[in-house]
Structure 1
C-alpha cells in the first residue's frame, strides 16, 4: 500500500486546545492509526513539527509523544518542506503567523477566529487565494455526535418547515479566588483577545449556516457579569472582556434562532450545550452527544392551568435518535477531511471565507449591543 508523508508545522501546541485536541487526539491519533486513507488507497501520514515559545514545554511534549522535531523559531519551521501550517495561538498573534505561512507556500489550517477582525480575515483569504494555497478553519461542533444526528433529521425533512432554534451554552467558570478557574485568565481580558462573543459567535455562525441557513441579521446584548477575577498566580485582575452574550439571529428562510452563551450560569440541562429545533412536523433537542426528537402526531396537547401541578411527563415523550454509526473525535474527523483536501481527495468548504463570516457575526453582535439596534448582515466578499 502506498504511503504519503505530509509534514505539518503545528504552532501553539503547548496550549490546552492545541495540545489536547489537535496534537494528541487528532494528528498523533491519525498517525497511530496508520494515517488517512485516500480514495486510491494511499495512506497519508501526518508528521508534526512542534512550534511554540516555551522550549522546555516543547521538548517535554516531543519526548512524551515521540515527535522528532520542534522549534521556538517559526521562521525556521516554515523554511522546511512541510506542506501544512496549523495555528492554535492566541488570536492576537494569529494573523501575522498565517501571513508568514502563506508567504512560505504552506496550506493553512487554523483555529477560529481566523483573525481579530473581518478586515484581517479577508486579507488572509485574499493572500491565500493569490498564493494558490488551500485553507481551512476549525468547525469542530459540526462533527459532534449530537449535531450529526440533528443534521440527519434536517436533511431527511423530518422537521417540515423549520420555525425556530433555541440554544443554551455555558457553565459557571469560577472566579479564581476560592477555587481555580477552569478556563485561562486571558479569556476574560479584551486586550488579550478574550471575550465570549469573539469566542462563540463564530461557532454559532457556522452551526447555524451549515444546518439551517445563513445569518442575515443579529440583535445582541453583550455583558460582563463578573467584573473581577483571579489569574493563574492567584492575583486579582479586572475582567475587561464580556463573559455572556445573548443573541437573536435571523436566518435565511425566516427561521429565528436565539442562543444564550454564558460563563456565569449554573447548568440545569442534560449537556453543556443544547439546541432545541421546532418545525411544523416535528421538534428535536440536540446536545454534544445525545439527540431526542418528537414527531407531530406524538406531540402531547397540554392545557395551561396554573392552579394544578402539571401531570404530563413531557421529557418521557421524546425518543432517542439512534447513533446508527460510530462517531470519531470531532477535531480528528475534520483534520482527516482537511488532509484529504490538501491531497486533492475531497472538499473542505470551511475555508477562510467561512471563517471571515464568523468574525463578521461577532463584530455585528458587539455593535448591536453597543448601539442598541438590530444589525443586518450583507455578503462577505474578498
Structure 2
C-alpha cells in the first residue's frame, strides 16, 4: 500500500511535554511503526519541523534523533505548503497568538491544553478555525490511558448501574528545588506565566468527567498555595504566585457528584498518581493510569462499624482486576493517530477547540468559586 508523508510544524518541542510525549513517544514512535494506517490500508508518516526560540536546543534535538528540519522562524514554517499540520506545546501565554497565525496560514491545528488563557480567546479560536475550514483538536490524552479505557468498557457494559459518585485523587510531592531539584518547571508556580494547578488540571477533569460520566453543570472549589516559596531551574528562590492544590466538587448531568483533590504538595499513598473511584448501584471500580479493579454488588462485603475492635477485613484484597484485553499504547500517541486520520480521511475526532474551551471555562469557574467562596453553575457552552 502507498505511504504518504504529512509535514507537521512542532512548536515548543524543546519543552518537557513537547519533547517526551509528542516528539519522541508520538511522532517518532508512529514513524517507527511505519506510519498511521488509514481505513483503505494506506499509511501516513509524519515529517516534523521543529520550531522554538533556541537554535542550540533545536540543533541538538535534531541531531540526536536524525532529523533534518528545524527553525526559529515560525512564519517561514507556516508559509511552507508541505507543512499541513501545526502543533503547539508552548507556554499557554503565547499559544493563542501562534494558533491564530497557523489558522490564517490554512494549517490544521492540534494543540496542548489549555488552548487559550481565557474562555473568550478559546471560543474565538474555535470560530476562526470553523470559518477557515481547518480541522482542529486539543490534547485529551487521559481518555486514552489503559485504566480509563477499562472504565469506559465498564460503563458501556452497564456494570455500574446508576452511577452515584466519582472520587478523584491526583498529585504527588513536587520538591521545592532548594535541596532537591523540582520535578516540574518553575513557571507552573507563577500565575503571571500561566501556572497553577487549577488552570493545568481542571481542563483535564472537564473532559474526563464529560466523556465518561456526564457534563459538568456546576463547580464548588477551593484553590490554595501550600508552598509559598520555591527555587527555579537555576537555583534562584522565587515567590509562588499560583495555586499548587485544589479541592473541588463537580455536579454532573444525570445527578452524579464528583469530588477531586489535585495537589503538588501531597505525598502518595495510592497505587498510582491518579486514581478514580466510581460507585454505582450495581458495582464500584477504582481506576488508575494503568490498572483497574472492580467490586460488583453481588461480591460486596458487609462492613460493620465498631471502633472498639480492630477490623479484620482486608478490603483491598476483595477487589478483582480488570484485564487489559488489548496491548496498551501511549495515550498521546493514540490521540495523534486519531488526529492524523481526522486530517487525512476525515476520521472522527470530537476533541476540538470547543471541547478545549469547556476545559478553560471549568478552570476559570473553579478559580471564581475559590475567590468568591461560592458555587458556580455552568450552562451548555456553544459557538
Map 1:284-363 → 2, pairs under 5 A: 284-363=285-364
| Preserved CA contact (<8 Å) 2:247 2:260 | yes
Secondary structure in structure 2 of the residue aligned to 1:343: helix
Q: Does 1:112 align with 2:113?
A: yes
**Contact 2:171–2:273 (CA under 8 A) maintained in structure 1:** yes
User: Retained in 1: the 8 A contact 2:3–2:42?
Assistant: yes
Q: CA deviation at 1:278?
A: 0.1
Instruction: Report 1:152-231 matches (<5 A).
Output: 152-231=153-232
Deviations 1:256-299 (A, max 9, x none): 00000000000001000000000000000000010000000100
CA contact (8 A) 1:7 1:49 kept: yes
What is the CA deviation profile of residues 305-349 of structure 1, one whole-angstrom value per residue up to 9, with x for unaligned ones? 000000011100000000011111110000000000001242000
Partner of 1:22: 22
| Cα distance in 2 for residues equivalent to 1:270 and 1:328 | 20
Secondary structure of the corresponding residue to residue 29 of structure 1: helix
SS in 1 for 2:87: strand
Measured against aligned partners, the alpha-carbon deviations of 1:62-110 in whole angstroms (never above 9, x if no partner) come to 1111111100010011000211000000000000000000000000000
User: Which consecutive unaligned segments of at least 5 residues does structure 2 have?
Assistant: none
Which residue is equivalent to 1:45?
45
Q: Is the 8 A contact 2:38 2:345 kept in 1?
A: no
Match of 1:64 in 2: 64
Aligned mates of 1:247, 1:344 — CA distance in 2 = 40
The C-alpha deviation readout for 1:218-242, integer Å capped at 9, x for no partner, is 0000100111111111111000000
Distance 2:28 2:324 in 1: 26
* Contact residue 163 and residue 254 of structure 1 kept, 8 A: yes
| Partner Cα separation in structure 1 for residue 343 and residue 200 of structure 2 | 27
Three-state SS of the structure 2 residue aligned to 1:163 is: strand
Equivalent-residue separation in structure 1 for 2:175 and 2:315 (angstroms): 33
* C-alpha distance in structure 1 between counterparts of 2:140 and 2:220, whole Å: 23
- Name the counterpart of 2:274: 273
- Quote the offset at 1:381 in angstroms: 2.0
- Work out the CA distance in 2 between the residues paired with 1:129 and 1:345: 15
Secondary structure of residue in 2 paired with 1:270: coil
Query: Per-residue displacement from partner, 1:199-232 (whole Å, max 9, x unpaired)?
Result: 0000000000000000000000010011111111
Cα deviation for residue 148 of structure 1 reads 0.4
Shift in Å, 1:13: 0.5
Measure the CA separation in 2 of the matches of 1:60 and 1:70. Answer: 10
Distance 1:359 1:72 in 2: 29
Q: Is 2:10 aligned against 1:10?
A: yes
Kindly tell me the number of residue pairs found equivalent between the two proteins.
382
Q: When the two structures are superposed, what TM-score results if normalisation uses the length of structure 2?
A: 0.99
CA distance in 1, matches of 2:69, 2:323: 43
Aligned equivalent of 2:262 = 261
Match of 1:88 in 2: 89
Alpha-carbon distance in 2 for matches of 1:3, 1:145 = 29
Q: What CA distance in whole angstroms lies between the structure 2 residues aligned with 1:378 and 1:304?
A: 41
1:180 aligned counterpart, secondary structure = coil
CA distance in 1, matches of 2:253, 2:49: 42
SS at match of 2:175: coil
CA distance in 2, matches of 1:236, 1:64: 33
Flag structure 1 segments of 5+ consecutive residues without an equivalent.
none
Inter-partner Cα distance in structure 2 for 1:178 and 1:188: 18
Q: How many angstroms apart in 2 are the aligned matches of 1:178 and 1:64? A: 31
CA contact (8 A) 1:39 1:345 kept: no
Decide whether the 8 Å contact of 2:189 with 2:196 is kept in 1: yes
- Using the alignment, how far apart are the partners of 1:11 and 1:346 within structure 2? 24
CA distance in 2, matches of 1:27, 1:178: 36
Shift >6 Å, 4+ stretches: none
The separation in 1 between residues aligned to 2:26 and 2:233, in whole angstroms, is 28
